[in-house]
């Protein structure tokens, strides 16, 4: 099988990672990649890590009527742009959206968290939520997939087995930290290297846009009526998300008990690895793995998760979902080995 692929929005970090992964995917042929401000430039001029690996050039968005021969498109665009383009695509093309445009089912919640009205909510019902490990069967038959947010991926993978087995009581506190690449390729005052390299701070307390999608998905997969306290922090590193998820279980649980529950839940999930004690973002950088560890005391259970925010938290999971949508082994093109150190 050879899949003809289009990428809308290839100049940012998400687009760069999609290109890195799809260029070496044995069943993918990239037909075009768009980037308005870089149109006409060679991809390898913008993404120097791809020098010698592709002759592609960035283009302006093509005429939608001429896209009928495509098999799949990826949206690696800022929030608000995919909803403008998706309704114009030919109905035969499968879609994976890396933005937040089609994750939320409630238009009022979307407007509250993304600061704009949704322009294509009628199309939302066609989008399946793309957390592969909890929604694999629906993704296999989906035409459109809304790829999860990076924080949502790290949090949901740490909570899904507990929620599905109805093990939680009391509130859940998520203390999540991310590297600077999560803020995008364009620098801003709080992401500029001299500002961020030696600093540490919290941001968007109680208001992060990934909170409603986390709660929406937890309600779908299990018994979720808990209060969620979700706080994000800026790490002085480039890549990686580390989440400490503080829970209380209905009965006493040991780390070994938790590991057994998670091992059963993720027995068919190659990209979830269970580790002793704490994971480390260095072990998952540039890979599609989520590493999960545990600490327990009585009924108190802390789940630690680590992912690469650009791979498992974005482009890698998008390719994993594409594989499923076309009946391929979900690992194809994604058995990426991290580095040490």
Is the Cα torsion angle 324, 326, 331, 337 positive or negative in sign?
A: negative
* Residue 62, φ and ψ in degrees, nearest 5: -80, 170
CA distance 244 to 172: 10
Instruction: Answer yes or no: are the C-beta atoms of 115 and 177 closer than 8 Å.
Output: no
Residue among 72, 150, 170, 290 flagged as catalytic: 150
Radius of gyration of the chain (CA): 19
CA distance 230 to 167: 19
150 is catalytic: yes
Instruction: Answer yes or no: are the C-beta atoms of 278 and 215 closer than 8 Å.
Output: no
* Residue 325, φ and ψ in degrees, nearest 5: -60, -25
Q: Beta strands of the chain (E only): which ranges?
A: 3-8, 28-34, 58-59, 72-75, 94-97, 127-129, 144-146, 168-178, 201-203, 228-234, 241-249, 272-274, 290-297, 300-307
| Nearest Cα to Cα of residue 148 among 218, 246, 252 | 218
Q: Reduced to 3 states, what is the DSSP secondary structure of residue 213? A: helix
- CB contact burial 119-143 (16+ within 10 A = b; e otherwise): ebbebbebbbbbbbbbbbeebeebe
Looking at residue 298, the DSSP 8-state letter turns out to be T
CA distance 173 to 160: 15
Which residues are designated catalytic?
A: 150
């Amino acid at each position: 099988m050879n899949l003809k692929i289009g990428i809308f929005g290839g100049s940012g970090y998400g687009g760069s990672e999609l290109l890195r992964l799809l260029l070496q995917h044995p069943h993918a042929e990239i037909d075009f990649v768009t980037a308005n401000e870089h149109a006409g430039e060679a991809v390898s001029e913008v993404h120097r890590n791809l020098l010698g690996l592709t002759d592609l050039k960035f283009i302006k968005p093509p005429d939608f009527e001429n896209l009928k021969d495509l098999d799949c498109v990826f949206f690696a665009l800022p929030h608000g742009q995919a909803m403008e383009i998706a309704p114009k695509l030919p109905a035969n093309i499968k879609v994976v959206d890396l933005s937040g445009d089609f994750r939320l089912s409630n238009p009022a919640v979307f407007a509250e968290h993304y600061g704009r009205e949704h322009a294509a909510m009628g199309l939302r019902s066609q989008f399946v939520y793309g957390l592969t490990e909890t929604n694999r069967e629906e993704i296999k038959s989906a035409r459109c997939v809304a790829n999860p947010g990076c924080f949502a991926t790290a949090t949901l993978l740490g909570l899904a087995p507990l929620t599905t087995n109805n093990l939680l009581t009391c509130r859940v506190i998520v203390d999540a930290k991310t590297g600077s690449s999560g803020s995008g390729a364009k620098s801003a005052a709080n992401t500029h290297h001299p500002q961020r390299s030696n600093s540490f701070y919290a941001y968007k307390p109680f208001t992060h846009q990934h909170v409603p999608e986390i709660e929406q998905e937890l309600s779908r997969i299990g018994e979720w009526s808990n209060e969620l306290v979700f706080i994000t922090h800026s790490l002085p590193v480039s890549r990686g998300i580390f989440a400490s998820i503080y829970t209380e279980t209905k009965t006493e649980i040991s780390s070994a008990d938790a590991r057994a529950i998670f091992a059963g839940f993720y027995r068919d999930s190659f990209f979830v690895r269970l580790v002793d004690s704490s994971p480390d973002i260095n072990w998952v950088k540039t890979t599609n793995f989520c590493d999960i560890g545990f600490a327990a005391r009585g009924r108190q259970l802390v789940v630690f998760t680590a992912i690469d925010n650009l791979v498992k938290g974005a482009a890698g999971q998008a390719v994993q979902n594409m594989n499923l949508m076309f009946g391929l082994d979900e690992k194809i093109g994604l058995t990426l080995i991290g580095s040490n150190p």
